[in-house]
Amino acid sequence: MEQLGRCLNLCKNLSQCDLSRVGLTDEPCRALFSTLKFNGVLTCLNVGGNYIGPTGATAIAEALRGNEVLTKLDLSVNYISDEGVKALASALLVNEVLTSLDVRGNEIGSTGAAAIAEALRGNEVLKSLDVRCNKISGDAAQQLATAVLASPSLEIFGLVPLKELRANTLDKLDLSGKGLGVPEALVLAKLVEGSEVLKSVDLRGNSLGTEGWCAIFAALRDNKENKIESWDLSHQGINAEVAKVLAEYVSVSGVLKSINLEYNNLGDEGKGVIRDAVSGRVGFELKM
């Protein structure tokens, strides 16, 4: 791999390199990136779908500290974990060129999420960050979401279109089946809270959990200007706790006309609060 790195350095016109799904492990990764730190032309590198762990991620982070041209790095579906992402986050504090970082599916938890949040507070160039399909929830998810929302440069967070939602230009948002988790849900909640034009939202087939769904419905409850007319929430694992917040939102929304809640885990309590919320709403279509 060190020889490959040297060859890449000699290719003066090679700006993109795809080494995804080639069985790359830590030691070859270390050898490769020890030379790529001096590469002056490579702007896009994909090493996703390999077996890179914390040691390999640390070598990548060290290369990022000295590299001044790489703008896009895909490390998705590896095994870098919290330790590896902490090294990458540290590099982001000094790297001034990387605009896109993908660390989906890397077994990142609370410690790693906190490190990313800290890096975002000191980084003003990153435009796209993807942390989907990890193990981030609770306080760590909230901390990360807060940092994402405060970032002066981020435009996309795990396929969530931050720039467009902030500009209030979207009237339709389809993020169904995109692998969104709690951090993405918390960011979405804050952005839809101020939306005055969004009429249609599809979030089916994700992993938002109780925390994520409650945040979104609470935000819509507090947004008196929201324009969403219908929700298909079937097969989403929505429970009684989520149903209570959903009912609060439904009861104050004057534009919502239909909700599909079939095949969830509402229980009698959850179904009861939803029925109470739509009671007396002429023409309201409810499926449970």
pLDDT of residue 5: 44
| CA distance linking residue 86 with residue 108, whole number of Å | 10
pLDDT of residue 10: 44
Least confident of 59-68, 70-79, 111-120: 59-68
Distances, alpha carbon 181 to alpha carbons 13, 56, 68, 160, 222, in Å? 39, 26, 32, 11, 22
CATH code: domain 2-157 is: 3.80.10.10
pLDDT tens readout for residues 73-109: 999 999 999 999 999 999 999 999 999 999 999 999 9
What are the b/e assignments for 81-99, b being 16+ CB within 10 Å? bbbbbbbbbbbbeebeebb
**Which CATH number does 162-287 carry?**
3.80.10.10
Residue 112 has pLDDT above 90, yes or no: yes
pLDDT in the model for residue 275: 96
Report pLDDT digits (tens) over 114-157.
999 999 999 999 999 999 999 999 999 999 999 999 999 999 99
CA angle 220, 130, 88 (to 5 degrees): 130
Measure the CA angle with vertex 201, ends 275 and 270; round to 5°.
Answer: 25
| Every domain of the chain and the residues it spans | 2-157, 162-287
Q: What is the pLDDT of residues 162-211, one digit of tens each?
A: 999 999 999 999 999 999 999 999 999 999 988 889 999 999 999 999 99
